Chains A and B, each alone.
Chain A
Amino acid sequence: MDTGKTDQIIDKHEGQASSLIQILLEIQSEYHWLPKEALERVSEKLHVPFSRVRHIATFYKAFSLVPKGRHEIHICMGTACHVRGATRILDKVQDLTGIQPGETDLDFKFSLETVNCLGCCAMGPVLEIDGQTHGKLSPAKTADVLKSFE
């Protein structure tokens, strides 16, 4: 792994330990996960124990300690979507992809996560793939959406 990028991010925050979360967020958005080497580098450069870096990385949901698939599916399980049948959308996606929330399939095609509100309640139930929102879903429509991804 190229530690240059990680170093750059750490330097940008002037190596301050209080910026730990911000640094990890940037590493996460760079690699789409937190490789162990990067975490070790952060621990070393910020003089923060590795156990604390791990603590942060596991406490917050934005971080992933495993690599993600090419397409990240976020299914909204917010209350508005829930009362409009989000569970059935989740069932359908699990059925089609064969993965549970938090998992990535063996081909690294899809990663599945549930989120608590995407703030497009008018379009519920919604899911988001690679930042694109798909709304007013039914299980059948969900299948159509997933089909368009390679």
Chain B
Amino acid sequence: MPRISSPAELEDIRRDVLSKRKLSKTCLTLCSGTACHATGSDRVAAAIEVELEKQGFKGEVYFRRTGCHGFCEKGPIVLVDPEEICYLQVTPEDVPEIVSQTIKEKKVIDRLLYTDPNTGERAARESDIPFYKNQERIVFGANRRIDPKSIEDYLAIGGYQALVKALFEITPEQVLEEVKEANLRGRGGGGFPAGEKWEVARNAPGEPKYVVVNCDEGDPGAYMDRSLMEGNPYGVLEGLMLGAYAIGAHEGYVYVRQEYPLALQNLGTAIKQAQEHGLLGRDILGSGFNFNVKVHRGAGAFVCGEETALLKSLEGEAGEPRPRPPYPAVKGLWGKPTCINNVETWANVPLIIHRGAQAFTSIGTEGSKGTKIFSLVGKINNTGLVEVPMGITIKDIIYKIGGGIPGGKKFKAVQTGGPSGGCIPAELLDLRVGFDELTKAGSMMGSGGMIVMDEDTCMVDVARYFINFLTDESCGKCLPCREGLRQMHKILTNITEGKGEEGDIELLEELSETAVEASLCALGKTAPNPFRSTVRYFRDEYEAHIKEKRCPALYCKELISYYIDPEKCQACGSCLRECPAEAIDGGKKMIHIVDQEKCTKCGTCFEVCPSRYSAVKKTSGEPVPPPIPEEERMIVKKSKEE
């Protein structure tokens, strides 16, 4: 494809791409995001190549490898279009059949379809699967239609229409107005209105101005930004260009987390292709607008997700935050006005410009417009990335889309907002998702991690986990965060180990208050949130740990014991064989006993005990029943006796 020098040429090429697409009627799409990659999509891809060739469909069937489709639980995913048939958990061995049956004979292979675990009903089309059906995938939906290495695919779905509209039909001021009217709020954590930020940057004195994509997605359990960057880097870049046009910047940076090699690779390819086609660089599409973008790899520091720390890191220094104001929009990179937004925020911009602010604001609640991508993970049946309209209830996300909790367990809480967020308990399941709604409930939107916890999750341990994470990631610049979190972690660890004392909760509350009031940046200011929200909703669990030395969730190692119920043990020997500590005493037809002295509480016996016996028990806060006397240990089957 040659360099494109006008909107008319772009449309010609788009038409050309689309007409070529019609020839190859069937399209085979394989999800190759990081999760599917880990479950073997490479081998499936190789099998597809071989099989298409072998069965004579090479060239006739369009085969495409895309970024993440979101349904990571069931990967690798293969889609057959135009019929929209969706095959899940595909192995290389399934591929010959897919080609011979579905492509050749147009027959659906039942066993590869989604089966509802409750009703047993199968769903052939992607849009019939409850996981997808209840979503609104206006941003993330493009992933499944784009090979991230092909700018043609992006053109085929209408890419760069927003850019053309901005450069040739409306002024920078109008782009800014549109984004303001859409009330697009930052998807990275704070929820600050993007339009306002842009306006400040536009009006701030100083040249040159910069635009930055924050792809330093550090929240554990959140990977939507990575998937957008991996799957559709063109969309993010188009958004960035629109932002640059609106504020008058000609240079942009993309800061990518070091742990995301595939995102880096796909972004690099996209930039190269866009440059070759004149969609980046000098005089874009003949409009006179110049824009260049550079990629910066992060080096593994959570705090760099904070905007002032990120800018320091871009300048080649240690990523330590600085006090705001001045905000980066006024004094940012190299002291110049800089507009930073996260990946998902930028990815929304082309939609707003192309379809107009009104279409965007028709979705959502009063204060939160559009959609939000969440990563739904933890104790949930359908793990994956989901894009939902703002205002949907948490219950709908967990049960309608997520398919509920595995193993018939009871839902306890959902943790949102990353390490600085909070836990939302079962009684707030009807809460509507939105920036202000979540904050009111003591949590926050954050970047969109949604970690589901069931009755086996200990909330004190969850608080300890997050405080530990943040202690580790604190840059150490200011005291309340550096030392306060360390002390909080110490106290929380004591509590989970049964060394908690009266007054610990009050002490934790005091330390929290100091960190919130006196820390320099958002990391420290929000760091006590995991403790605050868990103590708010689950104070009884804290008290049980401290007063009764009991872990109600039977999770905290130091507070639990394993024992074998003599009534249930059938002396099958599973635990005896598997116990790594040799702490189990038993033999043929002899009821097994856990030696409490030797037991390391690894839980292996609990796991390997066959569910039909369920003889291994966990207990906390009460003495372990004494082992049964030697003479009663023989299992005598009554039927044989008679």
Contacts and interface: CB of A to CB of B under 8 A. Distances in A.
Question: What DSSP secondary structure best describes chain A's contact surface?
Answer: helix
B555 to A, nearest CB: 9
28 contacts: A18-B314, A18-B315, A18-B316, A21-B297, A21-B316, A25-B258, A56-B299, A56-B318, A59-B319, A79-B415, A80-B451, A83-B451, A117-B218, A117-B219, A118-B34, A118-B259, A119-B34, A119-B35, A119-B227, A119-B259, A120-B35, A121-B35, A121-B221, A121-B223, A122-B384, A139-B602, A139-B604, A140-B578
A77 B227 CA distance: 20
Contacts of A62: 258, 298-300
A55 B301 CA distance: 13
Contacts of B469: 116
A22 interface: yes
A132 B39 CA distance: 10
Contact of B379 (A25, A84, A140): A84
Interface string A69-112: 00000000111101110001001100100000000000000000
Interface residues of B, number: 57
B326 to A, nearest CB: 21
Contacts of B73: 122
Nearest to A128: B38
A25 B299 contact: yes
Nearest to B300: A61
Interface string B461-502: 010011001000001000000000000000000000000000
B607 A138 contact: yes
A56 B75 CA distance: 39
Interface of B: 34-35, 37-39, 72-73, 75, 218-223, 226-227, 258-260, 296-302, 313-319, 375, 377-379, 383-384, 415, 419, 449, 451, 453, 457, 462, 465-466, 469, 475, 578, 580, 602-604, 607-608
Size bin of chain A's contact surface: 35 or more
A21 B39 CA distance: 33
Contact of A133 (B38, B222, B299, B603): B38
Contacts of A39: none
Nearest to B465: A82
B457 A88 contact: no
A122 to B, nearest CB: 4
Contacts of B578: 140
Given A78-B221, A80-B220, A120 B301 contact: no
B38 A123 contact: yes
B344 to A, nearest CB: 15
A60 interface: yes
B512 to A, nearest CB: 20
Contact of B300 (A17, A55, A60, A77): A60
Nearest to A28: B299
Contact of A135 (B38, B221, B260, B316): B38
A26 B361 CA distance: 44
B38 A124 contact: no
Given A18-B316, A59-B319, A60-B301, A83 B38 contact: no
Nearest to B604: A139
A76 to B, nearest CB: 8
Smallest CB-CB A-B distances: 8 pairs: A78-B220, A61-B300, A60-B299, A119-B223, A121-B377, A80-B377, A122-B72, A133-B38
A88 B298 CA distance: 29
